[in-house]
Amino acid sequence: MILRKFIPAVLAGMVLGSGLPAQDTKSKTASKEEEGRYRSALLFANVIELIRDEYLDPGKADYDKMTYSALRGLLASLDPHSQFLDPESYSMIRTETEGQFGGLGISVGMVDNQLTVNVPIQGGPAFRSGIMPGDRILKIDGQGTQKLTLSEAIRKLRGRPGAAVTLTLYRPSESRTLEVPLVREMIQVPTLADVGLLPSAQTGGERIGYLRITQFGEKTAAEFDQAIDRLEREGAAGLVIDLRDNPGGLVDAAVEVVGRFVNPGTLVVATEGRKAAVGRVEYLAKAVSRKVRWPVALLVNGNTASAAEIVAGALQDLGKAVVIGETTFGKGSVQTVQPVDASVAPAVAVRLTTAHYTTPSRRKIHGVGIEPDITARMTLAEEKAIYQNRSPGLRKAGEPAPVVFDEPLDRAVDVLRGWKVVARRTAVAR
């Protein structure tokens, strides 16, 4: 009780002062900001002590628990992407970017305040069981997710490899609820998949390479180089890069991939923030030994987000790819993870929105997305057929693989075949 009685007296002394000298407008503004800062800190401390003294269950009135809960609420109130990272959450984020962790193999986010599957990681438990993008996670082991923050939900999805968990899902595309039993595994996160030449029957005999980037992580550039080496050995003369359902990842990885298409020093993306001191930060391509010189078609859809949109926007602006599909998600704000002073709270950080991205031509991505050069859409049934081909858990025992109609991919092949025809005729004319 002593602190609660002491705080108002301290605050009164700070605010009222004792005959401060005259100040100019700038100094008065700074003084008001200082008063506001101290008032806020003292108010917070006052409420914490009130809870400690009066709340019925003292076990819930631990200082760290209350402070962490308050900070989670504070960061969540700013925007959907800012987040307070307690030691466990901070460790999880570092593990994710390294590409290996224990869990179910799904990327999740909040859509309309509901925990929603963004993308199941190919080969993981969720992928094999037939979980699809857009599935709403209603319960985790019988516990409702409505009151969970995103970080709390992720923590519950993660766990010891070999441990079982049951998810209760609602699938909007089928208007039904289903329960899916899963077993956690040590998840290896491949960032590239399905590398190879497209079937000759699909390409009219042209040797067109295909690769799908599932997300952008620390290993993406190296995996991309390996994929290009393989396609070169197989004689590829054109390339389809599939960024559909790619939720993003590391910006540096996206810049590295774009660097395989452009000259060193080329502007790939820029950030524009609030602070004049920070100003505009530009990400430039670096010199690399591996270059892609084929004509390129890039596939995107409404789930293409963040770092994937940076790649699409840059290659489109710089004339290095034809973008085909649907307008992308429009997640182009910058989150920086800033560790808190270790002397105050070790292993704690804040993920904070500090700027937004712009393409080389200074187009804003956030809230707008990247519009394709050629619009090509898929129905829900067609999207499901693709996932059924990739994920055996979506097919009943003995059920044959469905026939897949992939109009965006067909349009990409048409573009690259047309490119080849023009190149050949131009060469003959010379």
Domain map (residue ranges) of the chain:
2-14+22-61, 100-188, 192-423
pLDDT confidence of residue 190:
74
Q: Is the pLDDT of residue 276 over 50?
A: yes
pLDDT confidence of residue 391:
65
pLDDT confidence of residue 408:
97
What is the set of active-site residues? 306, 317, 331
pLDDT confidence of residue 6:
44
Adjacent-strand bridge partners of 352: 336
pLDDT level of residue 401 (50, 70, 90 thresholds): low
Is-contact 170 136, C-beta < 8 A? yes
Predicted TM-score of the model (pTM): 0.72
Q: Is the pLDDT of residue 173 over 70?
A: yes
pLDDT confidence of residue 99:
53
Arithmetic mean of pLDDT, 100-121 = 82
pLDDT confidence of residue 192:
92
pLDDT confidence of residue 96:
59
Q: Who's near 401: CB < 8 A, 6+ residues apart?
A: 388, 389, 395
- For residues 7 and 242, what is the distance between their CA atoms, to the nearest angstrom? 59
pLDDT level of residue 155 (50, 70, 90 thresholds): confident
Least confident window among 63-72, 208-217, 289-298, 401-410: 401-410
pLDDT level of residue 337 (50, 70, 90 thresholds): confident
Select the more confidently predicted residue: 55 or 400: 55
The answer to whether the Cα torsion of 429, 238, 386, 244 is positive or negative is negative
**CA neighbor of 271 nearest in space, from 185, 357, 170, 346:** 357
Highest mean pLDDT among 80-84, 185-189, 278-282: 80-84
Highest mean pLDDT among 2-16, 101-115, 330-344, 371-385: 371-385
> Cα–Cα distances in Å, from 66 out to 5, 62, 138, 352?
20, 6, 26, 21
Supply the Cα-derived Rg of the chain in whole angstroms: 26
pLDDT confidence of residue 134:
87
pLDDT confidence of residue 14:
41
pLDDT confidence of residue 54:
93
Q: Who's near 34: CB < 8 A, 6+ residues apart?
A: none
Arithmetic mean of pLDDT, 338-364 = 89
DSSP state, 120? Answer: E
Torsion (CA) 195, 200, 205, 211 in degrees, nearest 10: -20
> Cα–Cα distances in Å, from 228 out to 104, 269, 397?
30, 23, 36
What percent of the chain clears pLDDT 70, i.e. is strictly above it? 85
Select the more confidently predicted residue: 389 or 249: 249
Is-contact 30 6, C-beta < 8 A? no
**CA neighbor of 69 nearest in space, from 52, 48, 53, 54:** 48
pLDDT confidence of residue 4:
47
CATH of 192-423, one of 2.60.120.260, 3.90.226.10, 3.20.20.370, 3.40.50.300: 3.90.226.10
Highest mean pLDDT among 16-20, 254-258, 353-357: 254-258
Least confident window among 210-224, 269-283, 322-336, 393-407: 393-407
What percent of the chain clears pLDDT 90, i.e. is strictly above it? 53
pLDDT confidence of residue 50:
94
Average pLDDT, the chain: 86
pLDDT confidence of residue 381:
83
- Residue range 181-214, pLDDT digits in tens: 999 998 777 789 899 999 999 999 999 999 999 9
Arithmetic mean of pLDDT, 391-418 = 80
- Residue range 112-124, pLDDT digits in tens: 889 999 878 777 8
pLDDT confidence of residue 20:
46
Is-contact 189 122, C-beta < 8 A? no
Query: What is the CATH code of the structural domain delimited by 100-188?
Result: 2.30.42.10
**CA neighbor of 269 nearest in space, from 370, 368, 361, 352:** 361
Q: Is the pLDDT of residue 87 over 50?
A: yes
pLDDT level of residue 18 (50, 70, 90 thresholds): very low
Q: Is the pLDDT of residue 260 over 70?
A: yes
Q: Is the pLDDT of residue 232 over 80?
A: yes
pLDDT level of residue 277 (50, 70, 90 thresholds): low
